[in-house]
């Protein structure tokens, strides 16, 4: 299975976690890493190029830090620009049908803060619902997310284990079964 990881961190060089994840992903065959902020520093997305990347891969993982309870601005622009009527959905819009889509997300808050009783009042699964809806709308299969919470707690051991766990998740995650 060919996997495309679309990394959208606005300042990845300052991110211990996302940078470490990318470094670990680079060691593995069948995983293509595509960093949107590096590819498009001017934010002018090459739609044809992006669509060809999607078509060439079976599994697409969107990797980003939680950004005001949403995606990063460039990823939102990417969705609007790339997932077009007639290509991803609508009549003859079947290029994403059967693809698997997932999210790898990092948060500053603790795992406890992303519970109904926590300070954020919502779980990450609830916060990621728009990505799940998007996936279903374009006839893709949604995968359970990978999350790393409490990113302020950086130790070398935690960083290394998180990177290994992330790659394992990407390689083995199974789609969510919906009745």
- pLDDT exceeds 70 at position 174: yes
Tell me if 32 sits within 8 A of 57, measured CB to CB.
Answer: yes
Give the Cβ contact number of residue 120 at 10 Å: 18
160 in a structural domain: yes
Q: Do the domain assignments include residue 177?
A: no
State which of 116-120, 144-148, 172-176 shows the largest mean pLDDT.
Answer: 144-148
Q: 76 with 130: CB under 8 angstroms?
A: no
How far CA 98 is from CA of 39, 59, 136, 168, 175, in Å, comes to 26, 9, 10, 22, 11
d(Cα 134, Cα 136) in Å, to the nearest integer?
Answer: 6
Cβ contacts of residue 20 below 8 Å, gap of 6+? 159, 160, 162, 163
Percent of the chain exceeding pLDDT 70 equals 98
In a domain, 143, yes or no: yes
For residues 59 and 36, give the distance between their C-alpha atoms in angstroms, rounded to a whole number: 17
For 87, phi then psi, to 5°, come to -115, -55
CA atoms of 110 and 94, how far apart (whole Å): 39
Q: Looking at residues 68-86, what average pLDDT do you find?
A: 95
153-175 average pLDDT score: 90
| Local structure of residue 48 (DSSP, 8 states) | H
Q: Is the pLDDT of residue 96 over 90?
A: yes
Specify the pTM. Answer: 0.94
- The whole-chain average pLDDT of the chain stands at 92
147 assigned to some structural domain: yes
The CATH number covering residue 50 comes to: 3.40.50.360
The total of structural domains in the chain comes to: 1
Q: Residue 178 falls within a domain, yes or no? A: no
User: 160 is in which domain, residue-wise?
Assistant: 3-172
Residues 55, 60, 65, 71, CA torsion sign: positive
What is the pLDDT confidence band of residue 178, given thresholds at 50, 70 and 90? low
Grade residue 111 by pLDDT with cuts at 50, 70 and 90.
Answer: confident
| pLDDT, tens digit (0-9, with 9 covering 90-100), for 24-56 | 999 999 999 999 999 999 999 999 999 999 999
Per DSSP, helices labelled H in 57-105 are 73-82
Q: Measuring CA to CA, how many Å separate 114 from each of 65, 121, 129, 163, 164?
A: 14, 6, 14, 21, 23
Residue 126 lies in a domain: yes
Question: Quick one: DSSP state of residue 38?
Answer: H
Q: Quote the percentage of the chain above a pLDDT of 90.
A: 70
Helix, strand, or coil (residue 109): coil
pLDDT tens column, 15-32: 888 999 999 999 999 999
């Amino acid at each position: 299975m060919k996997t495309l990881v679309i990394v959208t961190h606005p300042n990845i060089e300052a991110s211990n976690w996302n940078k470490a994840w990318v470094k670990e992903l680079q060691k593995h065959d069948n995983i293509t890493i595509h960093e949107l902020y590096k590819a498009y520093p001017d934010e002018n997305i090459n739609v044809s190029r992006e669509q060809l990347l999607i078509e060439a891969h079976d599994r697409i993982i969107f990797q980003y830090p939680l950004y005001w309870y949403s995606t990063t601005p460039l990823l939102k622009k990417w969705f609007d620009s790339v997932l077009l009527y007639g290509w991803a959905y609508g009549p003859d819009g079947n290029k994403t049908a059967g693809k698997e889509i997932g999210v790898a997300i990092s948060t500053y808050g603790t795992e406890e803060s992303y519970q109904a009783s926590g300070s954020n009042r919502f779980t990450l699964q609830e916060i990621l619902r728009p990505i799940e809806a998007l996936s279903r709308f374009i006839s893709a299969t949604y995968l359970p997310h990978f999350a790393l919470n409490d990113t302020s707690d950086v130790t070398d051991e935690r960083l290394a284990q998180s990177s290994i766990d992330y790659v394992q998740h990407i390689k083995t995650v199974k789609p969510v079964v919906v009745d």
